[in-house]
A and B are shown apart, each in its own frame.
Chain A
Amino acid sequence: GNQNVLKTSLDKPFTKLLQTTRYALALVIPLLFLSFISAAQIQTKPVINSTLKGKVIDAKTRENLLGVSVQIKGTTNGAVTDGKGEFNLITGQIFPYTLVVSYIGYEKQELVVSSGPIQIELKANPNQLNDVVVVGYGVQRRKDITGSVASVPKEALSQVSPSVDNLLRGAVSGVNVTQSSGQPGASATIRIRGGNSITAGNEPLYVIDGFPIYNDNSSVSTGIGGSATGTNSGLNALATINPGDIESIDILKDASATAIYGSRGANGVVIITTKLGKRGTQNVTYNTYFGQQKITKQLSLLNGTQWAQLYNDVIAAQGAGTPLTATQISTIGNGSDWQNATYRTAPVQNHDLSFSGGDEKSRFAVSGNYFKQQGITINTDFSRYSARFNYERSLSSKFKIGLNATGSRSTSNGVAANTGALASGFANLGAVALSTSPAVAIKSADGTYNVNNPYSAGYSGNPIQDLNTVVNETNVTRTLGNFFGEYNLLQGLVARVSFGADLLNTRQNYFAPKSSLNGSALNGTAAIGNNDVNTWLNENTLTYSKAINTQHTFSVLLGYTTQYYKSESVTSSSSNFLNESSTYNKLDAGSVANPPSSSAYSWALNSYLARINYSYLKRYNFTLSARADGSSKFGSGKRWGYFPSAGFSWNIADEDFLKDNKLISNLKLRLSAGATGNQEIGVYNYLTAFTPLTTSLNGTFLTAYIASQLGNEKLKWEKTTQYNIGTDIGLFDNRIVLTADAYYKKTTDLLLLVSLPLSSGFSTALQNVGAVSNKGIELGINTDNIRGNDFTWKTSLVYSLNRNEVLSLGSASYINPSVPTILSLLAPVRVIVGQPLGTFWGFKTDGIFQNQNEINNSATSDTKANTKPGDQKYKNLGGDPNIITANDDKTVLGSSQPKFTGSLTNTFTYQGFDLLVFLQGSYGNKIYNALKQQLNVTSLVLNSTTDVLDRWTPANPSNSVPRASNQPTQVMSDRYIEDGSYLRLKTLTLGYTVKQGTLFNKAGIKSLRFYLSAQNLATWTKYTGYDPEASSFEQNPLLQGIDYGAYPNYRTFLAGLNITL
């Protein structure tokens, strides 16, 4: 099975290589002509005389710097440092003289030399203009870029984070990161310049060392343990990558930058480059931290006495008196604190050990990582072991090879979904614990868990016991590797071929013992699932770079790539366990076997790409790029999509009229336009298909085939056209650097699950219908406030504003997306033309009915006879004046999309100390607090929040909380739509770097830093749930901003150490 897949998949790229070589040769010939135009540069050699020996190192990291230019001022005499950072300059001069030392990415230094040998320390240049930025299929100087490309600052990269996506938080403008839950290993939702798509994926494309990966959490799930309901058990596929290995992250935002990724570029591209050793140095680095995490906040729930009074009130509302006496109520006292029993203080630790180095010919980095995070909910954790090997070597002056390979094993123990008898109200076992009556004891007198809940019919289990005993484990093994060969065919002409594989294997284990709520009805149930996802990639590119005179520089990129993806999953389960000791390890110990299930699918993508960068006088830069993608996911005639882009930038500061301006050190204008696509729709959607279904007829199980989808041979790409205008401004010698962008994106031919007339027998079909727009402004300001020798202070401000609007849904004016769980009854979300995605839909509350007269004179949602004083009143917005109906009186209640987001980072250094203060916030987004709605349904069984203490009674004419009654019907209203705006002190880090000294040199320590850090130290928000960063439905683009008992966020205090030998 698998071996065959492996073999055939490998064969394909090799055949392709041969073909590609042919293409390559056809391209080489015209380029040859161009190369002859080049003029060879002649180097003048200095007269042999006196010499100066020296060494150049990085002032901070103490690493040797290779390739530094050392020149005597006023002469052409110069040398370049070698692999040990050393130079031997033939000076022909008498001391003293002035040296000019320059190196890309470092501040130029002039120093007077009066004797040799010398050691020169270079400081890294805070000015990023000369930095090299990784763009698709290549690198570019920031100065020459025409598109909107943001690099995540070094400060952000050095943040402590369990996974890559969380590093992007607040780091650059235009990128909105929302943590979906606090569960260790859980994912974040990332939107680059808003969501383009309604049904298809909205997450960006990640390119890790050249390997494109769409971070689809379903690839690490088999649906076991309840992740199918989208509630809190998904593991983040990106958590398999060690953030400590990351050298740089560059984010491609506009079409000029992303169109080279064609059909996958519409949601933006995150390019991740991992660390490689530096030439001329060998380092051993060990980074570690230990920390403690604690829940940031407790929900205010009823205590035992308060709950007992509510219980009495509910029964009294049924006209059945008050069963609990005052004595009984006072005996209950505070009762059990289920919330407190659910959460704990939990440790986290991380260890990174890396070896890196390089010489003139090769560079390498080898690293190992161990990360272990216990969750703040009992019995949850995430751990990762990973190893990486990066290697690059020049085999000859023309031939270079390289390898990036990483292997990791991640294990997550998550909160299981609630599938038990009370599953109707709460999505997961954690939320079940919160909802348990405080009048029920957690443990019995004999110390065992109490499973007798006198207020609940049937077996209710004990949620704390369940959290401890229900196994919900995900193990992910990932091997991601990419190797390449690069050959200099001619001066400036480089051919590059790479092969890569991403082997992702997921194993999930689930076990709910008969003592648990989930397992009680089935007498213990176990399930295992395996999902094997393999991606193969072959990329072939040809790059030609050329400078003509000093006026024209250009580079041309041509490429062909092919990618193949296959996923095979299988799950099996059984129940009715006589003996539970083998848990999920022996399914045949359960006497009831369920039908196993399995599935397999694959997709392939073949692409041609091309890009031309042209620069005139290094002032006027042009980029043209195009990609043609052929995807198997679409109808036979619609497989190929074409994605062109054009960009222009003008370095105005280099013009004569600004050249000597003291104020303006950099001024650049950027313009771009282009088209990108989206293919994240799943597979085979264009086919008419039948799926098997097991059904029963008169007690006999039999297989049925049911038509599961109506084919659409016209299915094609979703297309996003984007326009960008931006400017980069540097003032006062770049002490103030400002980047501003404005953009407009329009996505058409949306891959939309269009509602069909149900009389067709089908509910929906995927069609290319409708349009969405995103427009916005991004601002990034970096200031170098104080640049002293002892004290420095830098500030960085990031601001993003995006306005999303659904422009069209074809013939429909709205869509009701399907919502899992009990929330389907409430239908809280609607996609409406003219409104943003994530629009909440429901009734507007209008206080509480105070008396019968008010009921008689108002619209009521029930009949007048059935409406009582104390019931919720809703606004009548039209239709029948006497009755509130869903058809006439539901309206827009706000959107989960923020009006703007921002972050502010201040970094201070004083001698060896460094202090980082990182504030992050979001404004204007709404959260649907679905957990609170479920808790506040007054009943005779479940606990509520203390909101219900203010419930309406004749004596307490509340105008906000209705009277107590037994499970009043739930309706979607603005009562549980809350302001999700927040400002958060996300990170506070104080570090101390030990000064260099002889002790250091003896011990061979190049650098040593200690730090203390706090995350989520303070949050200012009106949101009454655990945390304003919550999204129970994770990556689902339509169900953002719903908090249905999402795993709460936590505060972390940690201490760390970085040491380099």
Chain B
Amino acid sequence: CNKLDEKPYSLVTPDGLTTASDATALVSGVYASLIYDPGEQPIYGRNINFLADMTTDDWAAGPAAINANVQALSRDIHDASNDRVLAIWRQHYQGIGRANTAIDIIGGLSIDPVLRLRLAREAKFLRALLYFNLVRFFGAIPLVLHTSTDLTNLKTPRSAVDVVYTQIIADLTDAENLPAIYTGTDKGRATSGAAKALLAKVYLTRRNWDGAIAKAAEVINNKAAYGYDLPVSFADNFDYTKRNSGEIIYATDFTLNASLVSYNYLFASSWPSATGNRADVPADISLYSLYASNDIRRAKTFYTSKVALVGTNPTVFTYAAPGYFNKYVTDAYAYAGINGYAAPISFPVLRYADLLLIYAEALNEKNNGPTAAAFEALNEVRRRAFSQPIYSPGAYDVTALTNGTYTGFQDAVWLERRLELACEANRWFDLVRETRDGKSRLVSEVSKIASKTAVSERNNLFPIPQSQRDLDPEGLPQNPGYGN
């Protein structure tokens, strides 16, 4: 008589997770949720850009964007069935689920308590990052903090935005106790600096100017301890070989590998061809024209000429400005014809220049006008862009402001954010957060683009995916403007 409970030879069951390595592997799974989703573009492998860049005045879908859902986002006419919106929802909750599982399980393991605390805090940092994205995209959202084991009771209704932020802040506050610096193979994990910087961004979004100033200052004033600085080369931030340079606070690295343990589509979507067929995100001239010709960021943000292989022949392609986005294109890989999805890139989630601009903006808001520290923070970013010594005043500094000092400084910081952080999944978040005359700037700015005139107030939030609402209509009412 055969035994009916066969051994699951190639699966790990919860009972099988006991050691420090197992605990580390669970947290590695949370990190993986940012860069790997089989058969799909992962969160930081371009999916987040579809919501945070494609819907804005920075990106537009090109002719090779054969996905109608991407075209719809580009026109701001997306509906609740949009597959990119659903993917973002799913991928974020998948990562949150892994973080919840890791936190739940690790807490019960008898392993080195220092490691146990650190791993749980890393998971909390990632959970906070994911919830921060979600609450901004969707507003009130289901707040799930533990892994359920009961299949019949999985519905979670939307929690108020304030409740979600309370949890995000709690997680990040705990994560502030993470190490400031890692060594060896632990490099690349979430640090206390990352937690503080993200907290600064959270407070800025919440219009808690004091909180944003305090957390940004804690990092900026101790930047040596965290190992942060503004390196001279802007391009290094996107160079995989120089990944986690001084400016990177937190980045996801897509490592070149034949077996595709991570996929990124950013390289592929920027890649040229004889026919314009491959690069499916052409740049918009309105963004290009904002850069001064001697701004070093322009050459790294756009290209108008590349050498690539046609058949086996190296061929120079030249495009009229603005050409295509260049931040994630590495010439060597482009030339070698590396499978675009496997090309190594470093995607900056949080970097020091961003934090400086957060600091500058919060100081301006807090004091109803810029302080010296606010000017300094803004100008450090500008000096690097114009190849000036970073810590001494230079010719490109913002000193005089038009349109009043308060709004004038707002304009300057907001413009600088756009120039500095293009293609880094910040634009939509910034436009929704930035208010003028009590209204977000999303509609007023995006509607300036001819193909995006459909943008309206509803676009300040994305729709709750229809498939999720069909599973729980009461718990998940739709955001305004997306039908019932």
Contact = CB atoms under 8 A, between A and B. Distances in A.
A966 B63 contact: yes
A761 B147 contact: yes
A694 B261 contact: yes
Contacts of B259: 573, 594-595, 694
Contacts of A605: 2
A637 B396 CA distance: 74
Interface size class of A (residues with CB under 8 A): 35 or more
A606 B35 contact: no
A16 B1 contact: yes
A459 B312 contact: yes
A824 interface: yes
A95 interface: no
B255 A601 contact: no
B63 A967 contact: yes
B93 A759 contact: yes
Contact of A15 (B1, B89, B147, B254): B1
Interface in B7-24: 7-14, 16-17, 22, 24
Contacts of A424: 66
Interface stretch (A399-407, A450-458, A484-492, A788-796): A450-458
A41 interface: no
Contacts of B276: 318, 940, 966
B483 interface: yes
B147 A704 contact: no
Interface string B78-107: 011111000001100110111011000000
Interface string B250-285: 000111011101100000000111111110000000
Interface string B468-479: 101110000000
B453 to A, nearest CB: 7
Given A601-B9, A606-B1, A690-B12, A697 B28 contact: yes
Contacts of A910: none
A886 B467 CA distance: 12
Given A562-B1, A698-B244, A693 B36 contact: yes
B39 A705 contact: no
Interface string A263-305: 0000000000000000000000000000000000000000000
Contact of A941 (B3, B277, B467): B277
Interface in B362-401: none
B77 A594 contact: no
A599 B81 contact: no
B227 interface: no
Contact of B8 (A684, A762, A811, A820): A684
A575 interface: yes
Nearest to B278: A457
B470 A812 contact: yes
A757 B468 contact: yes
A911 interface: no
Q: Which of A698, A700, A756 has the most CB of B within 10 A?
A: A698
A994 interface: no
A564 B5 CA distance: 12
B187 to A, nearest CB: 5
A636 B6 CA distance: 11
A625 B360 CA distance: 82
A4 interface: no
Given A632-B6, A697-B188, A457 B97 contact: no
B214 interface: no
B25 interface: yes
B202 to A, nearest CB: 21
Contacts of A453: 310-311
Contact of B277 (A457, A688, A888): A457
A453 B310 CA distance: 7
Given A451-B312, A757-B156, A967-B66, A888 B483 contact: yes
B453 A863 contact: yes
B440 interface: no
B90 A763 contact: yes
A12 B1 contact: yes
B28 A601 contact: no
Interface in A748-796: 755-763, 765, 767
Given A458-B308, A697-B188, A825-B69, A761 B94 contact: yes
A12 B1 CA distance: 6
A758 B96 CA distance: 10
A521 B341 CA distance: 11
A628 to B, nearest CB: 12
Contact of A758 (B12, B100, B308, B468): B468
Interface in B155-177: 155-156
Given A595-B259, A606-B4, A457 B188 contact: no
Interface size class of B (residues with CB under 8 A): 35 or more
A6 interface: no
Contacts of A520: 337
A701 B255 contact: yes
Given A451-B312, A457-B310, A630 B277 contact: no
A758 B90 CA distance: 6
B450 interface: yes
Contact of B274 (A457, A762, A811, A966): A457
Given A460-B311, A522-B339, A695-B36, A941 B22 contact: no
A907 interface: no
Contacts of A690: 11-14, 16-17, 26
B292 interface: no
Interface in B449-484: 450-451, 453-454, 465-468, 470-472, 483
Contacts of A451: 311-312
A468 interface: no
Contacts of A965: 63
B4 A631 contact: yes
Contact of A813 (B6, B80, B310, B470): B470
A998 interface: no
A861 to B, nearest CB: 7
A462 B276 CA distance: 21
Contacts of B10: 598-601
A697 B189 contact: yes
Contacts of B185: 697-698, 700, 702
A446 B89 CA distance: 55
B63 A603 contact: no
Interface string A876-894: 0001000101111000000
A863 B77 contact: yes
A117 to B, nearest CB: 58
A711 B271 CA distance: 43
Interface in A690-731: 690-708, 710-712, 714
B267 to A, nearest CB: 12
B78 to A, nearest CB: 9
A522 B28 contact: no
B1 to A, nearest CB: 6
A452 B313 CA distance: 8
Contacts of A639: 4
Nearest to A707: B101
B32 interface: yes
Given A759-B144, A761-B147, A863-B454, 18 more contacts: A453-B310, A573-B259, A600-B10, A630-B4, A631-B4, A684-B8, A684-B11, A692-B25, A695-B29, A698-B243, A703-B25, A706-B29, A708-B11, A755-B467, A865-B451, A886-B82, A887-B80, A967-B63
Give the 6 A-B CB pairs with smallest separation, nearest first. Answer: A761-B97, A698-B188, A457-B273, A452-B311, A604-B2, A704-B28
Interface of B: 1-14, 16-17, 22, 24-26, 28-29, 31-32, 35-36, 39, 63-69, 71, 75, 77, 79-83, 89-90, 93-94, 96-98, 100-101, 141-142, 144, 147-149, 151, 154-156, 185, 187-189, 243-244, 253-255, 257-259, 261-262, 271-278, 308-313, 337-340, 342, 450-451, 453-454, 465-468, 470-472, 483
14 contacts: A19-B1, A454-B274, A458-B278, A602-B6, A605-B2, A695-B31, A696-B35, A708-B11, A755-B471, A758-B94, A759-B96, A862-B75, A863-B451, A865-B450
